[in-house]
Amino acid sequence: MGGPSVGHQLEGFVASVPVLTGAAAPIPGARVRPLAAGLGLLPSSDAFFDHVTRGDASPVPPEFEAFSLLSQPLIDWATRLSREGPVAYVETDFFGGVGTQAAVVWAGGRILLSPLDSSHAWEDGRVVRHGTQGGAVNAALRALGVVASPPKDEFEAVGLGDYRGTEDW
């Protein structure tokens, strides 16, 4: 994840704009935000989360434990949606260049890119990366077909850094 070393917290779904627009239409308050490369972001706002989960707090399978807000109803929703086109769920939680990110991609009703997580932590006075090289979100965006041109990475190329938090979108 590129960009300046300030806070960033995001939870949401990334897919083509038509796929997300159709899925968001029946959900009160759900709004698709356009990104570059024909993609859109459907932020997992409180209203969206409440509508899809309907209070169901079913535990997620162990492979999804890296996610803070992903729940079984959201996994089921994304699995169904992926029959319309590939869809990624992404989470970031960074402040001052230190934090975590996680992502997963579904296509055709199945997992295309297994859940990934990566982090940047302070160790011995410097920031050290752990997990997926280049970041979990960048890997998910590559799985959706995003091609970045240096010096930008995929995160920057689509515009996910334009806002600092889920509710800002």
Burial of 133 (0-12, 13-18, 19+ CB in 10 A): exposed
**Distance between CA atoms of 132 and 38, rounded to whole angstroms?**
25
- Bridge partners for 85 per DSSP: none
Residue 75 lies in a domain: yes
**Distance between CA atoms of 28 and 12, rounded to whole angstroms?**
16
Residue 168 lies in a domain: no
pLDDT score of 6: 65
**Distance between CA atoms of 5 and 95, rounded to whole angstroms?**
7
Checking if the pLDDT of 2 tops 50, the result is no
Q: What would the pLDDT profile of 25-59 be if each residue is shown by its tens digit? A: 999 889 999 999 999 999 998 889 999 999 897 88
Q: What would the pLDDT profile of 89-143 be if each residue is shown by its tens digit? A: 999 998 877 889 999 999 999 999 999 999 877 777 776 777 777 799 999 999 9
The parent domain of residue 85 ranges over 8-161
Q: Give how many domains the chain has, as a whole number.
A: 1
Residue 166 lies in a domain: no
Residue 77 lies in a domain: yes
Residue 3 lies in a domain: no
CB 74 within 8 A of CB 95: no
CB 8 within 8 A of CB 94: yes
Residue 137 lies in a domain: yes
Amino acid in position 130? H
Q: Is the dihedral of CA 71, 25, 165, 97 positive or negative?
A: positive
Residue 18 lies in a domain: yes
Residue 56 lies in a domain: yes
| Token code pair at residue 37 | 């490369």
Q: What would the pLDDT profile of 55-78 be if each residue is shown by its tens digit? A: 897 889 999 999 999 999 999 999
The secondary structure of residue 60, as a DSSP letter, is P
Q: Would you state the torsion angle of the CA atoms of residues 86, 12, 67, 154, taken in this order, to the nearest 10 degrees?
A: 70
